[in-house]
Amino acid sequence: MASPWLALPAFAKINLSLELLGRRPDGYWEIRTLYQTITLHDRLRLRLTHSPEVVVRVPGGGAPGGASNLIHRLLSRARRLLGIRRGAEVELEKNIPVARGLGGGSSDAAAALLGFLRLTRTELPEEELFRLGASVGADVPFFFLGGCALGVGRGDEAHPLDDLEPVPCLLLSPPRTIPTRAAYAWATSRARLTPRPQTAMIRDSRSLAAGLWTPGNDFEPVVFPRFPELARMKAALLRAGARQAGLSGSGSTVYALFSQRAAAERAAARWASAATVFQVETLPRRRYQQWLRWGVVQR
């Protein structure tokens, strides 16, 4: 007999800054980024089964199911690593657009693993948990933390920073997707022509307060010339009163942070015909972790 279902949210992220620092010996890019979770989320239901298989279904579409889903890859690796005989059945409701720079697939995988560990009453040291998550996706370790965090290395080394106060956040997600691999290829071509200057290191929240970070995204100079409508979105959001706006990840979502909800709502109405619009908030770590811990058991 299968176990009861456990229902969990899987929250999206934006990148408050993203710097491409250069190519690593392993061929990946060394990056430095500020991750921030937001309230937009997918919904997962998972339960243990007596079959040794991991089954992932996405009934409403919006993401691949089966073995090609990051949830499947991560839970399969966790079972082998921990010697857990029982399998898992996962149903995923997608609300986070795929391939838009919002980390939905990584967040789904992280939430599913946390739920799987909870159902099997298994604990992992943080270092091992992060290593396991990073084996399937660079953003996955961040989603074990949530809130505001510094990402370095490939983005897979996540370090919590003091949380910022929740603020209204507007997401404009156009129909166009931008494959991450293509965006990095464009960045590689540009880097050969334009070496990047060194910048100060973000170490903790005091560094943020001292202005030792740049609220920008190094993908913008290579993505915006190819997709000028994204540049127009950013410029229009800043004119509409956003205190910060930019590309999230390698795109194609453009986000904006507002001080006043009314200004965010007016900007949302302006872009409703050109993109999928989400009016959300930034999500601090304490609330993020509470919601993951409060996963609801469904009989």
pLDDT at residue number 62: 84
The verdict on 12 and 153 lying in the same domain is yes
Q: How many domains does the chain have?
A: 2
Domain range for 267 is 168-281
Question: Is 139 labeled as catalytic in the residue annotation?
Answer: yes
Active-site pick, 42, 108, 139, 156: 139
The verdict on 214 and 140 lying in the same domain is no
CB 173 within 8 A of CB 253: yes
Find the Cα–Cα–Cα–Cα dihedral 20, 25, 28, 33, rounded to 10°. -40
Establish if 289 belongs to a structural domain. Answer: no
Of the residues 130, 162, 194, the one at which a domain ends: 162
The verdict on 145 and 129 lying in the same domain is yes
The verdict on 130 and 249 lying in the same domain is no
pLDDT at residue number 211: 47
The verdict on 107 and 194 lying in the same domain is no
39, two tokens? 């309230």
Of the residues 138, 162, 186, the one at which a domain ends: 162
The CATH number given to whatever domain includes residue 235 is: 3.30.70.890
CB 167 within 8 A of CB 282: yes
The verdict on 220 and 98 lying in the same domain is no
The verdict on 193 and 145 lying in the same domain is no
pLDDT at residue number 293: 79
**Which has the closest alpha carbon to 172: 257, 94, 108, 88?**
257
The verdict on 110 and 181 lying in the same domain is no
Establish if 296 belongs to a structural domain. Answer: no
Establish if 51 belongs to a structural domain. Answer: yes
pLDDT at residue number 53: 94
Establish if 256 belongs to a structural domain. Answer: yes
Tell me the angle at which helices 126-134 and 70-82 cross, rounded to the nearest 10 degrees: 130
Establish if 9 belongs to a structural domain. Answer: yes
The verdict on 80 and 227 lying in the same domain is no
CA angle, 252 as apex, 231 and 245 as ends, to 5°?
50
- For residue 26, the tally of other CB atoms under 10 A from its CB is 7
Establish if 295 belongs to a structural domain. Answer: no
The dihedral built from the CA positions of residue 176, 157, 13 and 149, taken in this order, carries a sign that is: negative
Active-site pick, 13, 108, 156, 218: 13
pLDDT at residue number 299: 47
Question: Is 13 labeled as catalytic in the residue annotation?
Answer: yes
The verdict on 240 and 158 lying in the same domain is no
Establish if 288 belongs to a structural domain. Answer: no
Of the residues 126, 147, 162, the one at which a domain ends: 162
221 burial type by CB count under 10 A (0-12 exposed, 13-18 middle, 19+ buried): middle
Establish if 287 belongs to a structural domain. Answer: no
The CATH number given to whatever domain includes residue 36 is: 3.30.230.10
Q: pLDDT tens string for the chain (299 positions)?
A: 677 899 999 999 999 999 999 888 888 899 999 999 999 999 999 999 999 999 999 998 888 888 999 999 999 999 999 999 999 999 999 999 999 999 999 999 999 999 999 999 999 999 999 999 999 999 999 999 999 999 999 999 999 999 989 999 999 999 989 988 899 999 888 765 455 545 545 555 455 544 445 568 999 999 999 999 999 999 999 999 999 999 999 999 999 999 999 999 999 999 998 899 999 999 999 999 998 876 655 54
d(CA 90, CA 71): 8
Q: Is the pTM of this model over 0.85?
A: yes
Cα maximum dimension of the chain? 61
The verdict on 28 and 68 lying in the same domain is yes
The verdict on 122 and 151 lying in the same domain is yes
